[in-house]
Amino acid sequence: MEVHRSLDAARAACASRRASGTLGLVPTMGALHEGHLTLVRRAREENDAVAVTVFVNPLQFGPHEDYERYPRDEAGDAALLEGAGADLVLFLPADEMYPPGHVTRLDQGALCTELEGAARPGHFAGVLTVVCKLFNICTPTRAYFGHKDFQQTVVVRRMVEDLDMPVEVVVCPTRRDPDGLAMSSRNAYLSPAERAEGLALVTALGEAQRLFAAGERSRAALEAAMQRILLDRLRRPADYAAVVSPDDFSRPELAHPGDVAVVAAPVGPTRLLDNHALGAKLGPFSPGP
Ligand code: PAF
């Protein structure tokens, strides 16, 4: 496995792999967990070579968010990536990614201001800008993202289509711990009690799925059921608990298979988010220790 730490070296290493075959890219912010490794293994299966970028992107954090304390563990990440079969690990330096004078931002208007975008103004402009840069630096054949960040997958796909980017976006299912909690680098912030509280999110999604499977189609009823569970378990209202269309986050009066139940709520020192495409199987999960 090659490790590179400059943009020039990253560009050259990716170009050399691309010259002789397909390249799968897994963009990450590090603090890797099994969810990321699943993306790497899928990229391994589908491409001749696999590159993983590790870059905590300052552009996608708000002024009072956790950019400074976001977990960083380069040695641990490199060891996990070696085991998962990555060929290139690219630790990208912030001063090269955003040199003085860098002002260009990608944005998609309403798609970037709904849901997570409402809670985190500017977040998706930061995500789109860095993902576009990573695609330009690495020129991947395919790029891999987790469904856990559902809104991110939608805006990235939109960008690729709108800007005719020659890359295939592959979205992989959310990985969950045995108790159902969606894997996330930010779970590291949670105490055991907060972790148990965080299960409210998957419980709410499970209830929406149960009602949907039993024939409930009213979006308002599905949302109310999720909100009730979140309020009950977390003792404060969620940031959102909604059923949205997977294309543009509009909220249909009647839910259809494939519409996505999305939830986000503050839990302890962090915000957790999760989602589930209605009609698909969710669980059962085993209770934690
Ligand atoms: O999902 C993430 O980890 C980040 O948003 C990404 C795609 C690596 C861009 O910084």
CATH number for 224: 3.30.1300.10
Ligand 1 proximity of 28 Cβ (cutoff 6 Å)? yes
pLDDT tens, residue by residue, 20-63: 999 999 999 999 999 999 999 999 999 999 999 999 999 999 99
* Residue 54 shares a structural domain with residue 140: yes
Ligand 1 proximity of 130 Cβ (cutoff 6 Å)? yes
State in Å: Cα 122 to ligand 1 middle.
14
d(CA 211, CA 222) in angstroms, rounded, equals 7
* Residue 76 shares a structural domain with residue 127: yes
What is the pLDDT averaged over residues 183-193?
96
* Residue 162 shares a structural domain with residue 203: no
Environment class of residue 49 by beta-carbon count within 10 Å: exposed (0-12), middle (13-18) or buried (19+)?
A: buried
The domain in which residue 49 lies consists of 2-172
* Residue 147 known to be catalytic: no
Alpha carbon distances (Å) from 211 to 61, 204, 216, 223, 287: 36, 11, 5, 11, 22
Residue nearest to atom 1 of ligand 1 (CA): 28
Catalytic residue among 4, 33, 36, 123: 36
* Residue 127 shares a structural domain with residue 88: yes
Ligand 1 proximity of 171 Cβ (cutoff 6 Å)? no
- On whether residue 288 sits in a domain, the answer given is no
Domain total in the chain: 2
pLDDT tens, residue by residue, 102-132: 999 999 999 999 999 999 999 999 999 999 9
* Residue 20 shares a structural domain with residue 120: yes
In the DSSP assignment, the letter for residue 60 is G
- On whether residue 185 sits in a domain, the answer given is no
Ligand 1 proximity of 116 Cβ (cutoff 6 Å)? no
**Domain edge (last residue) among 172, 204, 220:** 172
pLDDT tens, residue by residue, 164-176: 999 999 999 999 9
Ligand 1 proximity of 92 Cβ (cutoff 6 Å)? no
pLDDT tens, residue by residue, 71-84: 999 999 999 999 99
**DSSP H or E segment with residue 69:** none
State in Å: Cα 223 to ligand 1 middle.
28
Q: Are 255 and 243 in contact (CB under 8 A)?
A: yes
* Residue 158 shares a structural domain with residue 257: no
d(CA 52, CA 40) in angstroms, rounded, equals 8
